[in-house]
A and B are shown apart, each in its own frame.
Chain A
Amino acid sequence: MKRRLIIISNLLIMGFILFIIVSYANIKAVESNRNEIAAFEKMTMTTNQIIANYLEDEQHLCDIWADYINSSAEEGDMMTAKEAISFVRKAKISPEIEGHLIFLDNPERAGVSTTARVSDPNDDAISYKNINIFDNIEGTGDPNEAVNLTRAYTNPMNGVQSIAFYHDVTVFDQETDGPREALLMRVVPLSSLEQKFVFLKGEYENVEISLVDKEGNYVVHGKSFKNSNFFEYFKSYNAATSEEYEHVIREIAGGTGTMTIKNYKGEDCVLYYTPLETMTTWFLLAYIPAKDLVASRSIDWLLLGIASFGFLLLLIFNSIVMMNYNRELSEAAQQANQANEAKSYFLSTMSHDIRTPMNAILGLNEMVLRDSRDDNIRMYSESIRSAGSTLLGIINDILDFSKIEAGKMEIINVDYSVASLLNDLVNMVQKKAEDKGLSLDLNIDRDIPMTLNGDEIRIKQIIINVLSNAVKYTQQGTVTFSVHARKLPDKPDSVMLGVSVADTGIGIKAEDLDRLFVAFERIEEKKNRNIEGTGLGMAITQKFLDMMGSHLTVESEYGKGSVFSFELEQKVVKWEPIGDFEEAFRRSLSERMDYREKFTAPEARVLVVDDTPVNLTVFVNLLKRTGLKIDTAESGDEGIALFSREHYDVIFLDHMMPGKDGIETLREMKTLTDTPNTGTPIICLTANAISGMREMYTKAGFDDYLTKPIDAERLEMMLLQYLPGDKVTLVADADGDDTDEDALPDLLYHLEEIDPGAGLSYCGDGESYMDALMIYLGGAEKKADEIEKYWAAGDIKNTTVKVHALKSSSRSIGALKLGEFAARLEEAGNSGDQETLEKELGELLARYRQLARDLAPLNEQEE
């Protein structure tokens, strides 16, 4: 497109320059034409003068003849016609010129010629009866004319086309014996007149001179003039209205000038017209093809041709250079594409490779969070969860940018705890702020609903980006994080969450504000070179907000600080206000600690296929409390075997597996007809979190996909969506429900020896704990007897082994003190300290038996 534009621009510029040249050439050509025409007119005028001189000379000679004849008459010595002709015969020098003496009053217009008839040398009688040339000159010559001339006619004596100059003479008529008026004619061959045109012919090769009379009849005409009359000729070959035709007649028969006419070939011709000098009845027409007068234009065309050729060369040169550049650009683009593909591959690989272990880390951590009752462990675990989430966020940041670039970013709304969200945010920023000596002030609206529905991850990303930036670009002072919620009058299920981050940092110049949201652009790069950042944060932030129907507003004063704020409409899941943020956070934490499954579905059966055993373990454990029957397979083939044999309500297939991958496995499953799983939804498990994922998996035939690390809540939500409703029992709200700890018999809480929490911690859950207690209780008496027996037999070694067992079993049921006592005696036994054993073994066994007795009621409860 760009290339085409450049070529078009080049052509336009060329066209413009050529237009200028052509226009200039045309102006010069018109000027040149004008000059040519002027020169042509001048030459024609010269010819006119030559002709006029010739005609005058001829007329003068005719006049001399006539004057001599007339003077003879005046002197009384009147000549007869014969005598007069005889005189003329002697007087004329040129043999081609004849003298005719005609009596116009004779009906035959007869007379005498100086030259005998060609066909009869003895006959000099002449008659003009059939030659109509005297109509306008009856009787006399026109005194107003310097030249009295006939039209061209055929000399009746010799058949030569001629013209005749005439003058009245008086001769003696023998018949009447008196004077008689006659017309003396000097008859000149037309060719003599035509020879005068040669002068002009020398200058212009194709010029044609014609002489016409007032009616347009040719006296002489060039070969290009057809017809016998110029006006008829004009009418035949020129499309003219009657007015134009009349105008041409008036012009030619009345003045001097130049006009352009078409010749019989339709070519433009220049016609110069002027009356013959000394005559008013004849007009000179000088005709020349217009192209003969514009020959000089060829110089302009040459110039134009050279210029055009030059431009063409320039265009070709430019094109070659451009093609060269384009080739380089094309290669660069190809390399860029390859790099891009490599990037995509890298992102895909990174996504998979990082997310796969992250799945294990976060999944197992989730198990720890669920199962651990130790506050410290839970706190560490919570930190792992938080940091893991942040790490995932960073990975997502990069991956999501590729999604944004491809326009395939998805907003995934989930229910989230506002307090947890805020806590995560504060946790992540607090330390950084403290490290820089900044004060992080919180201004959290107490009335914000506790649980909202929205894209928690994106919102967190947005706020983290803004908060991180505030901390990054503030050297001293305060960063104030404010969150408010206001109800929307027309949307009772939603609130407008207002978030703002104000800092006392370096601020942003007004002219830099627009660059703030450009990817990879960093404002005042040089000044902020020590501040880490990819330049992606604000761009992603703004894009996310766009997608959520919001936008980031920035108010900044350079050197004083900035305020970033936005508003986000969120659906409300729980209207309960978060209240005091710290308190709400603790409660949120507690809620997480008190995880409870969303549903149970003991009748439902699920197949999960993943080549990584730990992932299978995580998957199974995450769903343990739902009671689902979960079959696992570590390869595609194994999965297919189960698929063809057993019925499943939902199947999860990992994408990236050695051997048959998820997609190949899916295809094979789909080809199977004899299977109880026709129509069973198959969901892809994938660590690939790059753009276009949904399209790819849907196209491949999956019903849905779930990204790893598997989010427990999303997993449950997805199962709720796909499991048959009749197999699912939703778990009621956890408030007021029994917990595992509450399920333990009260007895345990009243025994000094027992720490139920420690017992549960060791056993994992209440059931296991109770099992462990029952085993402990059931074997207590027997084991105590065995210890006594070995001690009595002096078998210190076995006594020590049994004490060790007592230590472990006591600890496992939460009888920590008893366990410690047993440990001390075990150590004594190992060191051969019989004295200690002798002194304290009895007490140990007494406390052991007492504990067994104290726990005895459990047997009854169990029964």
Chain B
Amino acid sequence: MKKKLKTLLSLSMAAALLLQGCGSTKNADAPFAPKYDKETEFSLTVAGNYSNFESLEAEFERFYEYYPNASLQYVTMDDYNNVISSALINSEPPDIFTTSSAMIGNEKYDDMFEACEVLSDPSLDIDYSCIRDSLIRTTDSGDVVMLPIFTTSYGMLVNMDIFEKEGLKVPGNFKELVSVCGKLKNAGYASPMMGTDRFSGSGLFNCFVYPMFAYNVIKNSDQVDALNAFEPSSGELMRPALERLYEFVNSDCIDLAKCQEEITDEYDSVIMRFFEGDVPMMLAAGDVVSGTAKRESKSDAFSAHPFKYRFYTAPAGDDGGYFINSISICFSVNKHSRDIDMANEFMRFLISRKELSNMAGLKRLITPVDDFSADEVYSALAEIPADRRFSDKETGLMDPAVRQFRAAIYAVGNGTMTVDEAVAAYGTIPEE
């Protein structure tokens, strides 16, 4: 199965390119025109693991403008990853459900993918040409069964007011970062950069240096298999990133102890600490950024002294930061849906530059469409040069390899291993 999926993944890029032609013949910006009678009465259920999906519920309302007699509901499923496959074939199956890129390659979800409608079927008339090519996933037969709705990345939240107040420019590369941090420290900011010291993808080390590592892997794609196979020698590929991390944690840029003390989780605490207004740069993943909008009003400090903030890539590289784009969630259609036509119709409605941007804007996640202007928070991403923009899938790294790298940076960052030790121990570094 794994092999099969590998093949699937390697072919996916080529297939995506082919598929783009299919989508490009249509105009994703054209206003939505209902395919069916507007008076059609139908109910659809969208299942997912988000406990809350207001941005999707907003889309339901927009969809009702075209189909006023429709009734769409979002259902949060417990133990989603384990039950979704069963749910799709039960007596009350969801019509649309969320999937993630991590599910690809996992045979556990074979049945689930089997139950997916082929969204690239031209008869469905779903035009996904507005979505960035690198985010399109296909089966080995070239079918598109999942379409990205939100994407995420790793980088940092920047308090623009502080930079404006101190007369500084947001740093574009590591050298500038060190320089700016020095100035900020002199200006009284104890830890110019902060973040949560966690093992997860939202952890500050991962946010800072993983994109740099991923870029290095893409540039050395011949060693990807070795990395995935945990060949010890391949650990050398981590060295540049680990050394930059070591350099970073030992600079004036960050006070790790302060981070550990003041940021107690990887989500709420990160946001609320950033809203205190005295952190110039907060290392965070896009998922964390998505929680900022709702928490602005919950922060007394931010309510009293609101400030402007933006998401930037972390300037870990000598030439600048790297924008690694990961799929956050995708939508798939259950081909066993009791109202498959209307489920596809909703997807046809949703997959457009306008609606996807609306959703991403509400969720404050990175839109999968090729236009960052819809959300000001992410507007800085548009400035990243094309050669430093890539999707996580382009690295070819499997999840275990990623976890080993994460273990390496967690160890080096916290000083439990040296760079050499971590490089040498690749494949066997203890994970959380």
Binding site for B on A (CB under 8 A): 96, 117-119, 129-133, 153-161, 189, 191, 223, 226-229, 232, 236, 264-265
Contacts and interface: CB of A to CB of B under 8 A. Distances in A.
B89 A223 contact: no
25 contacts: A119-B86, A119-B89, A130-B79, A130-B82, A133-B78, A154-B77, A154-B83, A154-B87, A156-B78, A156-B86, A157-B86, A158-B86, A158-B87, A158-B90, A158-B91, A159-B77, A159-B83, A159-B84, A159-B86, A159-B87, A159-B88, A160-B91, A232-B52, A236-B54, A265-B61
A117 B86 contact: yes
Contact of B92 (A130, A160, A228, A265): A160
B52 A159 contact: no
Contacts of A133: 78
Contacts of A191: 92
Nearest to B52: A228
A189 B92 CA distance: 9
B191 to A, nearest CB: 32
Interface in B59-113: 60-61, 71-73, 75-80, 82-93, 111
A189 B52 CA distance: 22
A223 B90 contact: no
Residue of B72, B77, B79, B111 with most chain A CB atoms under a 10 A cut-off: B79
B51 interface: yes
Contacts of A153: 78
Nearest to A129: B79
A156 B80 CA distance: 9
Contacts of B54: 226-227, 236
Given A154-B78, A155-B83, 20 more contacts: A117-B86, A118-B86, A118-B89, A119-B86, A119-B89, A129-B79, A130-B78, A130-B82, A131-B79, A132-B78, A153-B78, A156-B86, A159-B84, A159-B86, A160-B92, A161-B75, A161-B77, A161-B92, A223-B71, A228-B51
B339 interface: no
Residue of B61, B76, B86 with most chain A CB atoms under a 10 A cut-off: B86
A157 to B, nearest CB: 7
Nearest to B87: A159
B57 interface: yes
Residue of A133, A153, A236 with most chain B CB atoms under a 10 A cut-off: A153
A153 B51 CA distance: 12
Contacts of A131: 78-79
Interface of B: 51-52, 54, 57, 60-61, 71-73, 75-80, 82-93, 111
B87 to A, nearest CB: 2
Contacts of B88: 159
Chain B interface helix/strand/loop/mixed: mixed
A440 to B, nearest CB: 103
A191 B91 CA distance: 11
A160 B90 contact: yes
A131 B81 CA distance: 12
A154 B91 CA distance: 13
B76 A223 contact: no
Contacts of B83: 154-156, 159
A793 B73 CA distance: 165
B89 A156 contact: no
Nearest to B111: A119
- 9 tightest A-B contacts by CB? A159-B87, A130-B79, A159-B86, A154-B78, A159-B83, A158-B90, A118-B86, A154-B77, A131-B78
Given A119-B89, A160-B92, A191-B92, A154 B79 contact: yes
Contacts of A96: 91
A264 B57 CA distance: 10
Nearest to A118: B86
Contacts of A227: 52, 54, 57
A118 B73 contact: no
Contacts of B84: 159
Contacts of A226: 54, 57
A156 B77 CA distance: 10
B94 to A, nearest CB: 8
A224 to B, nearest CB: 10
A118 B79 CA distance: 15
Nearest to A190: B92
A154 B48 CA distance: 11
A158 B83 CA distance: 7
A117 B111 CA distance: 14
A229 B54 CA distance: 11
A215 to B, nearest CB: 12
Contacts of B86: 117-119, 156-159
Contacts of B85: 119, 159
Contacts of A129: 79
B272 to A, nearest CB: 17
Contacts of A159: 77, 83-88, 90, 93
A161 B94 CA distance: 10
Contact of A223 (B73, B77, B78, B93): B73
A264 B92 contact: no
Given A158-B90, A160-B91, A264 B78 contact: no
B263 to A, nearest CB: 24
Contact of A264 (B61, B72, B76): B61
A117 B60 CA distance: 32
